[in-house]
Structure 1
Amino acid sequence: MPLSTLAHRFRLAPLAAGFVLLTACASGGGSHPSAGVNALYAQLDQASKGYEIALQQAREGDDQASEQSLKASLDGLKQAAARCGNTPGCDPQRFFSVFDRLLRLKDGGFFASDDLAATGEEGPDETVAGEAGEAAGAAALPQAQRSVTLLRGHKLSELIAMNGPVKAALEMWLTQWRSNLVDTWINYQYMRYEMWPQYEKADLPEALLFGIMAKESGGKVHAVSRSGAAGPLQFMYATGLRFGLNSENGFDTRFDPAQAARANAEYMDEQLKAFNDNLELSLAAYNGGEGRMRRMVSGDTGLSFYDPKIYNQLSEETREYVPAVLAAAWLFLHPDSYNLHFPKIDGAPGTITLKRAASLSELTICLGSAQGMDDGWFRTLRNLNPRLDPQAAQPAGSQLQVPKELESVYASRCVDGPWPILASDLHSAVVPEVAKVDPPAPRRTVHPHSRYVVRRGDTLLGIVHKLGCSDVRELSDINDLKHHSIRAGQVLRLPACRR
């Protein structure tokens, strides 16, 4: 069997075993394993060792023996999993743990095409970037380099604890946040050639970059939070300045994908050093503030993020943020194992030179849903040309960044014919301006039946707070009070707000 075919089977092997485990073990339980349960566990351990033997044989080039070992180990896993559901005392968590460990074994880098299952396809040709020209950038890097880059001597998947918070975040990404995750993947693939080299230089995993961006902006370059964080990686203004993100001819470089990725890599590098390579604490610092995290840790960088001394002091946002980033990174590495399919995207960069003046909005209209982009190309054009106002027409001769697959589409659709004319007509439409009328000021009136009997301990200010739409002076004037004094049993007339 060809090595590439065997590699493909190894990629799918944990998935096949995983689904059997996840569906067959739901009814197990018990704290005192019987002889039958112990036999199942022994079968499970034997199958797991067989899987490791298969990997070792494949590494040594013995494809036939590796295939036989793999088949035997998977058969053993399936049989043990199927029996677990019908065996009292069988702990399904034991099987889930094996599934998790096999996924981590899969990250061992035995096959280039296996190291990043994010595309669900075989890896691209391992072309040296220089051979394809500078424009190819990171798109020409081998698949293996996309996931096995070390994080201070450890592979990323080794540092992701598959605990309750991460599992809960995995469920959110696979359900309520699923569309955002897929959108992030699509947006990132078109910006990858700008962003991934910045992380590669810092020897940081690409999956971590993806996880942060998925949680921060969904890959929308012009995203701005209510707190003022901006760009694809959501830098606050002061932090951005510290890492060289400033204003260039009126453009805030926090919105530049390449510069934002560089600054993010430098920031993560700084925090990893400060927190003794504790990834979870470093991510918490990115979200919740490095100063606050350092005060919590107080020099004890051996503390876990989930230690009550740390976890209980964090905001709810940060407690959700860290496992969410790690879960998104995990899914970037193992989508197939969680029944997730990321669309295959050709992110090779390209350029067009405008033959006629056009805005990004007009180009979006004439490009339509070319190359199967059902949602249109507006977001991608904005992400790749962050310095341009999407509504401002760019003069003929301007050069724009686009996916390479759109170069020919632009030439066929957006230079001549009906589509650019239609786009221009829609874009230049005049919308009548309506004069703004200030709303009338709220009027206050006294409701004839609005009364209040003063109780012992009441104050005028306290009554006003209960009323919620008046003030002490108004209440005092309505009731002819002297010096704002009131007494228990006194009946006050209360104003009512009418808006």
Structure 2
Amino acid sequence: MSDLSRFLRLVPLSAALLVLAAPASAQRVSAKDRVAIDALDQRMAAAEKRYRDALLLVANGDPKGTAEGDAALEDMEDVIDACAKQRGCELNTQLAAFKRLLKANVDAQSPDEDEESSDEPLEDDHVPAAAGATTSTPQAQQGAAKLDDNRHAFDRMVQYNPAVQAGIRRWLTDMRSSLVDSYENYQNMRFMMWPQWERQGLPEAMLFGIMAKESNGKVHVSSRAGAAGPMQFMYATGTRFGLGRDDTGFDTRFDPRSSAQASAEYMSERFAELGNSVELSLAAYNGGEGRALRVYRQYPGVSFWDERVYNQFPAETRDYVPMVIAAAWLFLHPRQYGLDFPRVAPQPAPLKLLKPTSIYELTMCLGTTGTRDGYMRTLRNLNPRYQAESYLAPGVTLNANTRIAALYSRHCLNGPRAELARTLMAANVNAAITRAPLPEGRVSVGDVSQLVQLPDDPAESKAEEKPRAKEKPKGKEKPARTIKVGRGDTLGKIADKHDCSLKELAKANGLRAPGYTVKPGQRIKLEGCGK
């Protein structure tokens, strides 16, 4: 039963009792009654504290929180029932405690009005202001007077002009879902990314704006031009800042922490050589640092929005700069634009696997508690080294948070959800295909070979009989065809591609269910396959 339904059930009962009972002030309360009333007050206070502690456990993803909260509510119900029977006990006082806890529960699940109407600064104010960071165009002055409140350091570093406003319009309309996804993805990776920018004294809003425009916070994104990772580094540029293939072959451009550090160092260099201009630094990030530096030296101190500067950048860059600033602006001022970002405040925690599993399997058994779309994107972003379908051995430690760790213990080790996830992972399309038996009286026809006609005379038959061909010695059958496992391949994919029976393929290669784990470079015998 929910807290609200419990409260609504208690209110009519208490109201009726209050009507029938005389006011406490009109009743004579004996010393014995007073002792009993004080005891009830203490029980209610203890239950109230127990419930608040339970809310804290729930907020931290501790599964004990729900049970503790239910037990606390039952204590409160008992106190109210006892109060109704106790001479001189004021029910309205006891119900007030229940109402306080109900409000505390609502406040814990959604921001209050005061919080919604204010935007707290998200970065320090020590970041240097950009040159020319004022609103100069007449069209922008009216909007800037209402929305450019200069409460954040970033507000004073950029121009809030019609180009930025148009970018905000795009983020709030057809790109709203992308912006919200970006925010949720960023908050789950924030503990890895933000410290890298904070050490360089760069604004967090700009980090979010770049990430939102480049990748929507999906770390495995790669562009057709070859840029990769959450911050979309080209390979050559990434190499300059320590990104690239490590000893295991993993491309660290996909790692949130490494890519954030590299982007912070890159932007610090651009700020230093481009006069602390956010717009020119962003133009360099997208359109090339050489072009940006050449333009800056040609027109030192001139704003990016000056047509002499603006027109020297390609159309993609002229679109990119205001879109990043617009995303950053909404990151700092969501309430002013009617934007409700999801409440995401994960507590980072390691998740040590206790049995073979994959990110796909974890996604199914964890469910969607506390999220909009489940935990697959979070697990993939925090653990970019692992393929989602690859089975991981017991003892592997994943980057996660306290809620994921609690749900893993509850649903992914044992129980119906864990069994269902394993069953779904082992499912193979070929197992659903049935082959009808051949009708009676028909035989399967193979290669057609010409029959030798026997002569009428047996003697002639002996004379014409040809010696039989020698049988092939045993042990020299043609070996089974093999293939090499590629990156991202699973046994199920190989079985589908070559029309194999998954069980026969696994048996021939000594692989055990349910994982059927294969590794890139491993040789697989194609037995029980149709092609």
User: What's the secondary structure of 1:370's corresponding residue?
Assistant: coil
Match for 2:423: what amino acid? Answer: D
Task: Quote how far apart the aligned CAs of 1:259 are.
Answer: 0.7
1:12 aligns with 2:12: no
Task: Quote how far apart the aligned CAs of 1:279 are.
Answer: 1.1
Matched length: 305
Closer, same or farther: CA 391–92 of 1 in aligned 2, 3 Å: closer
Taking the aligned partners of 2:384 and 2:339, their CA distance within structure 1 comes to 30
1:242 aligns with 2:240: yes
Percent of pairs with identical residues? 47
Gaps of 5+ in 2: 1-111, 120-137, 431-495, 500-531
User: What's the secondary structure of 2:400's corresponding residue?
Assistant: strand
2:144 corresponds to which residue?
Answer: 97
Closer, same or farther: CA 434–269 of 1 in aligned 2, 3 Å: closer
Task: Quote how far apart the aligned CAs of 1:435 are.
Answer: 6.5
2:279 corresponds to which residue?
Answer: 280
Judge conservation of contact 2:252–2:258 (CA < 8 Å) in 1.
yes
Closer, same or farther: CA 434–350 of 1 in aligned 2, 3 Å: closer
1:374 corresponds to which residue?
Answer: 372
Task: Quote how far apart the aligned CAs of 1:396 are.
Answer: 1.4
Judge conservation of contact 1:222–1:231 (CA < 8 Å) in 2.
yes
1:319 aligns with 2:318: yes
Judge conservation of contact 2:193–2:256 (CA < 8 Å) in 1.
yes
CA RMSD of aligned residues (A): 2.3
User: What's the secondary structure of 2:229's corresponding residue?
Assistant: coil
User: What's the secondary structure of 2:356's corresponding residue?
Assistant: coil
1:303 corresponds to which residue?
Answer: 302
Closer, same or farther: CA 375–299 of 1 in aligned 2, 3 Å: same
User: What's the secondary structure of 2:329's corresponding residue?
Assistant: helix
Taking the aligned partners of 1:265 and 1:223, their CA distance within structure 2 comes to 19
Taking the aligned partners of 1:281 and 1:10, their CA distance within structure 2 comes to 34
Match for 1:312: what amino acid? Answer: N
User: What's the secondary structure of 1:251's corresponding residue?
Assistant: coil
Match for 2:253: what amino acid? Answer: R
Taking the aligned partners of 1:387 and 1:434, their CA distance within structure 2 comes to 25
Taking the aligned partners of 2:223 and 2:243, their CA distance within structure 1 comes to 17
User: What's the secondary structure of 2:117's corresponding residue?
Assistant: helix
1:161 aligns with 2:266: no
2:34 corresponds to which residue?
Answer: none
Taking the aligned partners of 2:423 and 2:114, their CA distance within structure 1 comes to 54
Alignment of 1:383-422 (within 5 A): 383-422=381-420
Match for 2:117: what amino acid? Answer: L
Closer, same or farther: CA 213–435 of 1 in aligned 2, 3 Å: same
User: What's the secondary structure of 1:401's corresponding residue?
Assistant: strand
Task: Quote how far apart the aligned CAs of 1:171 are.
Answer: 0.4
Task: Quote how far apart the aligned CAs of 1:329 are.
Answer: 0.7
Task: Quote how far apart the aligned CAs of 1:93 are.
Answer: 6.6
Closer, same or farther: CA 360–335 of 1 in aligned 2, 3 Å: same
Taking the aligned partners of 2:242 and 2:422, their CA distance within structure 1 comes to 38
Closer, same or farther: CA 94–263 of 1 in aligned 2, 3 Å: closer
1:356 corresponds to which residue?
Answer: 355
Q: Deviations over 1:125-161 (max 9, x none)?
A: xxxxxxxxxxxxxxxxxxxxxxxxxxxxxx2111221
Q: Deviations over 1:387-432 (max 9, x none)?
A: 1111111111211111211111110000001222222222222344
Task: Quote how far apart the aligned CAs of 1:92 are.
Answer: 9.5
Taking the aligned partners of 2:415 and 2:288, their CA distance within structure 1 comes to 54
Taking the aligned partners of 2:140 and 2:242, their CA distance within structure 1 comes to 47
Task: Quote how far apart the aligned CAs of 1:95 are.
Answer: 4.6
Taking the aligned partners of 1:9 and 1:415, their CA distance within structure 2 comes to 42
Alignment of 1:194-209 (within 5 A): 194-209=192-207
Q: Deviations over 1:12-59 (max 9, x none)?
A: 379xxxxxxxxxxxxxxxxxxxxxxxxxxxxxxxxxxxxxxxxxxxxx
1:253 corresponds to which residue?
Answer: 252
Task: Quote how far apart the aligned CAs of 1:282 are.
Answer: 0.6
Gaps of 5+ in 1: 1-6, 15-90, 108-154, 437-499
TM-score when normalising by structure 1? 0.58
Larger Rg: 2
TM-score when normalising by structure 2? 0.55
Task: Quote how far apart the aligned CAs of 1:298 are.
Answer: 3.4
2:472 corresponds to which residue?
Answer: none
Closer, same or farther: CA 385–13 of 1 in aligned 2, 3 Å: closer
1:187 aligns with 2:185: yes
Taking the aligned partners of 2:369 and 2:115, their CA distance within structure 1 comes to 35
User: What's the secondary structure of 1:247's corresponding residue?
Assistant: coil
Judge conservation of contact 2:361–2:421 (CA < 8 Å) in 1.
yes
Alignment of 1:384-463 (within 5 A): 384-432=382-430, 433=496
Match for 1:163: what amino acid? Answer: N
Closer, same or farther: CA 349–10 of 1 in aligned 2, 3 Å: closer
Taking the aligned partners of 2:140 and 2:309, their CA distance within structure 1 comes to 27
1:343 corresponds to which residue?
Answer: 342
Q: Deviations over 1:254-282 (max 9, x none)?
A: 01101100000000000111111111011
